[in-house]
């Protein structure tokens, strides 16, 4: 009998990082029977990724609401998953990362006396409020999970330090698998739609890609970051900024107020995943508070400047693919302009080996899952 797997996902990052694993497990139809449940925690951005990777959920819970709170989201998600787990009766539930969906999916598995597998296990910032609520989410998943797929040896060591040493595999990160799969789909389908999307950007200049959305950056930190961007653009006439802006008013308002009038700043609506891949492949460097991009961009030879005070992806900092700048305006300007003016420094970062693997994580996880029924 094939092992019954239930993948639970609800946000774009989860869908991106689980897509190659879902496809790998479906290829092994004699070994696995695969079901996919979408909580639709972030519906629109999630649906774009599922369409791109041609994944159709077997269960679509549609729990997203306007201005949803963590309290309401968690309660709705847990109540809806009770029926899914009872109906599908999986041998193993698979969750990814550190979202509310991942935490509640793991909890639903525990309540249903079902084994839980955690993809991207062991990431830690060691600050429970940064990122919020992700740091606590992933710690709680680790307590519940039966199988832990750590992307790096550091992540596995974090688990060991918390008393979790059995059923831990170091696999690399499935986000790298998704990156290469996505680029192959772009090449296959043609990328004309995406090149036209960025028609206003002058790629003869050095284009910096920005992504910012963390709750802990709201307010003064985000304003400091935007002021730093403004100064960098003013100081460097050969630089353009492409910034897909998160629709949260806490992000949108200060970004538009500080950066909206500059002709070399391109504020855009959030990009779908293939659009993000396209511009990431074309850009000079990435400035971000995102976790996934810290892993992906180095595989394309793009230096990453991390606009956070702490990161749970210390491996990239240690490997030299990324630098942790914080949110201080002067530090951001100084370090970014150093990268712009120092070709040797840029080359070192661009050619550093990506610590998150070469794109074989999904195969390693599927191999491990074969033996854990």
Q: Let me know if 337 is a catalytic residue.
A: no
Instruction: Examine the domain organization and report whether 341 and 364 are in the same domain.
Output: no
Number of domains comprising the chain: 2
Q: Who's near 12: CB < 8 A, 6+ residues apart?
A: 42, 45, 46, 48, 49, 273
Cα gap 62→40, rounded to integer Å = 5
Instruction: Examine the domain organization and report whether 210 and 81 are in the same domain.
Output: no
182 part of a folded domain: no
Distances (CA, A) of 335 to 241, 242, 350: 16, 19, 15
183 part of a folded domain: no
Cα gap 3→267, rounded to integer Å = 46
Q: What is the dihedral of CA 312, 314, 316, 322, to 10 degrees?
A: 90
Asked if 14 and 96 count as a contact pair (C-beta separation under 8 A), the reply is yes
Report the pLDDT value the prediction gives residue 32, as an integer from 0 to 100. 97
304 part of a folded domain: yes
Q: Let me know if 338 is a catalytic residue.
A: no
Would you tell me how many other CB atoms lie within 10 Å of the CB of residue 66? Answer: 4
Instruction: Examine the domain organization and report whether 204 and 338 are in the same domain.
Output: yes
Instruction: Examine the domain organization and report whether 232 and 332 are in the same domain.
Output: yes
Instruction: Examine the domain organization and report whether 269 and 362 are in the same domain.
Output: no
332 has which bridge partners?
none
Q: Who's near 120: CB < 8 A, 6+ residues apart?
A: 17, 96, 97, 98, 149, 150, 151, 155, 173, 174
242 part of a folded domain: yes
Biggest CA pair distance of the chain: 64
Instruction: Examine the domain organization and report whether 8 and 136 are in the same domain.
Output: yes
Please give the model's pTM, rounded to 2 decimal places.
0.88
Instruction: Examine the domain organization and report whether 338 and 363 are in the same domain.
Output: no
Distances (CA, A) of 322 to 110, 229, 277, 289, 303: 37, 18, 18, 12, 6
Q: Let me know if 289 is a catalytic residue.
A: no
Instruction: Examine the domain organization and report whether 168 and 211 are in the same domain.
Output: no
Report the pLDDT value the prediction gives residue 51, as an integer from 0 to 100. 93
Cα gap 102→190, rounded to integer Å = 33
129 part of a folded domain: yes
- Supply the DSSP string of 325-363, one letter for each residue: --S-HHHHHHHHHHHHH-HHHHHHHHHSPPTT-SS-HHH
Catalytic residue among 120, 191, 272, 312: 120
Instruction: Examine the domain organization and report whether 124 and 234 are in the same domain.
Output: no
Catalytic residue among 42, 124, 213, 214: 213
Q: What is the CATH number of the domain that holds 56?
A: 3.40.50.2000
pLDDT in tens, the chain (373 residues): 899 999 999 999 999 999 999 999 999 989 999 999 999 877 777 899 999 999 999 999 988 878 789 999 999 999 999 999 999 999 999 999 999 999 999 999 999 999 999 999 999 999 998 888 999 999 999 999 999 999 999 999 999 999 999 999 999 999 999 999 999 998 887 777 788 889 899 999 999 999 998 888 899 999 999 999 999 999 999 999 999 998 888 999 999 999 998 999 999 998 989 999 999 999 999 999 988 899 999 999 999 999 999 888 999 999 999 999 999 999 999 999 999 999 999 999 999 999 999 999 999 999 999 987 6
Cα gap 39→226, rounded to integer Å = 33
181 part of a folded domain: no
Cα gap 346→286, rounded to integer Å = 12
Catalytic residue among 215, 227, 363, 367: 215
- Supply the DSSP string of 62-102, one letter for each residue: ----TT--HHHHHHHHHHHHHHHHHHH--SEEEEETTSHHH
Catalytic residue among 28, 139, 205, 246: 246
Q: Let me know if 134 is a catalytic residue.
A: yes
Residue 316 structural domain: 192-351
77 part of a folded domain: yes
Catalytic residue among 12, 14, 24, 98: 98
Instruction: Examine the domain organization and report whether 98 and 214 are in the same domain.
Output: no
Q: Let me know if 246 is a catalytic residue.
A: yes
Distances (CA, A) of 21 to 108, 174, 291: 21, 7, 19
Instruction: Examine the domain organization and report whether 211 and 340 are in the same domain.
Output: yes
- Supply the DSSP string of 266-323, one letter for each residue: EEEPPPPHHHHHHHHHH-SEEEE--SHHHHHGGGGT--EEE-SS--S-HHHHHHTSEE
Q: Let me know if 330 is a catalytic residue.
A: no
Catalytic residue among 14, 134, 177, 191: 134
Cα gap 4→257, rounded to integer Å = 51
186 part of a folded domain: no
Instruction: Examine the domain organization and report whether 236 and 339 are in the same domain.
Output: yes
């Amino acid at each position: 009998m094939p092992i019954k797997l239930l993948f639970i996902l609800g946000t774009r990052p989860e869908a991106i990082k689980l897509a190659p694993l879902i496809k790998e497990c479906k290829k092994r139809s004699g070994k696995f029977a695969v079901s996919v449940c979408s909580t639709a925690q972030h519906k629109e951005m999630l649906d774009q990724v599922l369409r791109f990777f041609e994944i159709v959920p077997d269960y679509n819970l549609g729990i997203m609401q306007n201005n949803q709170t963590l309290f309401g989201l968690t309660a709705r998600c847990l109540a809806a998953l009770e029926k899914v787990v009872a109906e599908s009766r999986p041998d193993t539930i698979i969750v990814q990362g550190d979202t509310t969906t991942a935490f509640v999916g793991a909890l639903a598995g525990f309540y249903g006396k079902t084994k839980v597998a955690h993809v991207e296990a062991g990431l830690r910032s060691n600050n429970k409020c940064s990122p919020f609520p992700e740091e606590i989410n992933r710690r709680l998943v680790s307590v519940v999970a039966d199988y832990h797929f750590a992307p790096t040896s550091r992540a596995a060591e974090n688990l060991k330090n918390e008393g979790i040493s059995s059923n831990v595999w170091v696999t690399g990160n499935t986000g790298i698998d998704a990156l290469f799969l996505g680029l192959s789909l772009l090449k296959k389908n043609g990328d004309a739609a995406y090149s036209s999307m960025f028609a206003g950007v002058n790629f003869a200049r050095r284009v910096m890609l920005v992504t910012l959305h963390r709750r802990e950056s709201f307010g003064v930190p985000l304003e400091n970051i935007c002021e730093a961007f403004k100064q960098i653009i003013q100081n460097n006439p050969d630089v353009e900024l492409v910034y897909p802006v998160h629709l949260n008013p806490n992000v949108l308002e200060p970004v538009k107020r500080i950066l909206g009038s500059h002709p070399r700043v391109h504020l855009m609506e959030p990009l779908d995943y293939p659009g993000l891949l396209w511009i990431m492949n074309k850009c000079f460097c990435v400035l971000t508070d995102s976790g996934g991009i810290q892993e992906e961009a180095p595989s394309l030879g793009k230096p990453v400047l991390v606009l956070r005070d702490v990161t749970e992806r210390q491996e990239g900092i240690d490997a030299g693919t990324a630098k942790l700048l914080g949110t201080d305006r002067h530090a951001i300007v100084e370090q970014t302009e150093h990268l712009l003016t120092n070709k040797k420094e840029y080359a070192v970062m661009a050619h550093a080996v990506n610590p998150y693997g070469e794109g074989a994580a999904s195969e390693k996880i599927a191999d491990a899952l074969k033996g854990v029924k």
